[in-house]
Amino acid sequence: MRNIEYKKVSYLKKNTEIYTKRHYEIIDALEKLLEKGVPDLTMSEIAKKLKISLRTLYEIAPSKDQLILMTMDNILKKLGKFAMDSVEEINSPIKRLEEYLFIVNQAVGPKFDRFLKDIEKISGSKKMADYHENFIKLFTQKLLEESIEKKEIKSIDVKAFSILLGGIGREFSKDKNKKSINMTPEQSANSITSIILNGIKIEN
């Protein structure tokens, strides 16, 4: 089976210098600064809050938009890695998949709600979101293939199901859909995920 993992270097990191340990410490501090939403601050004001030089901040990203995208990219990668590590010891591929999807669906939960609303206004945010969604789809496809091999689920079009399961959370997080559902996007995504997976399981 294919070994799927996040690239160590983000797509946002192209054509830039390699980060130092100090840069990564600043990135971690940025996450805490931005976790309640994107503040209306200039790069100079952000640098001041982080107690670093403006030059150091520009070494990390050339603009505020890129800085915010890079920070959110880092947060989502951490969530994705946490999800993969959390299910590593689960023997059943289908149970591993369900637990994995429940964890990554936190990306459309209350913790990220404010941030996602702000980041949608930033150019390049769709490309970043697509990157993470595509990773989820690939990992979902891998686990569906393993589930079929172990005869845990019916023979299905794994690519079609991976597209569906990998994009549920993001679909429910859209404003037009969020206003029409009774639960939160995360709760709705988890509910539909359970229904879909239970529907393709082979009863023992």
Q: Per residue of the chain (204 residues), give pLDDT as tens.
A: 445 565 544 545 443 456 788 888 888 888 888 776 566 788 998 899 889 999 999 988 899 888 888 888 888 898 999 999 999 999 999 999 999 999 999 988 877 776 666 677 788 888 888 999 999 999 999 999 999 999 999 999 999 999 999 999 989 988 888 889 999 999 999 999 999 999 999 986
Distance CA 78, CA 82 (A): 6
Architecture of domain 11-200: Orthogonal Bundle (1.10)
Closest CA to 104 of 146, 68, 76: 76
Q: CB-hemisphere CA count at 13 Å for 124?
A: 13
- Domain spans of the chain, in order of start: 11-200
Residue 19 near residue 60 (C-beta atoms within 8 A): yes
User: What secondary structure, in 3-state letters, does 140-178 show?
Assistant: HHHHHHHHHHCCCECCCCHHHHHHHHHHHHHHHCCHHHH
Q: Which two tokens stand for residue 161?
A: 């199901």
